[in-house]
Amino acid sequence: MIAPGSGVRVYLATQPCDMRKGMDGLAAQVQNVLATDPFSGALFVFRGKRGDMLKILAWDGSGLCLFAKRLEQGKFVWPPIVAGRLQLTAAQLALLVEGIDWRRTVAPEPVTRPESI
């Protein structure tokens, strides 16, 4: 998989999406349902009702990119279906795309240095 950088924002659409949609349909869904700019440089992840396919929409600065993956066995791990979006880390996205349960991962707290006396 092509891994995003650690500072990239990743948004997960929590409601199932019509997997027949292409770039334009998903970009419209980002604007209307997720209330976000699809040209912001963030990654937007969508899953269909069956759960075995996902699509990732990304803006690379010169155009929209659409990545798709279908599992031959099993389903992608998804949070409960609620309205809106969920923000993931790049590491959680990598686990999700590999079909691993990413929900049990916790982002580490930022390290703060003690002030010297």
Domain boundaries of the chain, sorted by first residue:
10-97
pLDDT confidence of residue 84:
75
Identify the segments of the chain with pLDDT beneath 50: none
Beta partners for 65?
58
pLDDT confidence of residue 71:
87
User: How large a percentage of the chain has pLDDT more than 70?
Assistant: 85
pLDDT confidence of residue 86:
82
pLDDT confidence of residue 111:
62
Question: Any idea which residue has 């075995």 for tokens?
Answer: 52
CB 33 within 8 A of CB 82: no
Closest by CA to 45, choosing from 5, 100, 92, is: 92
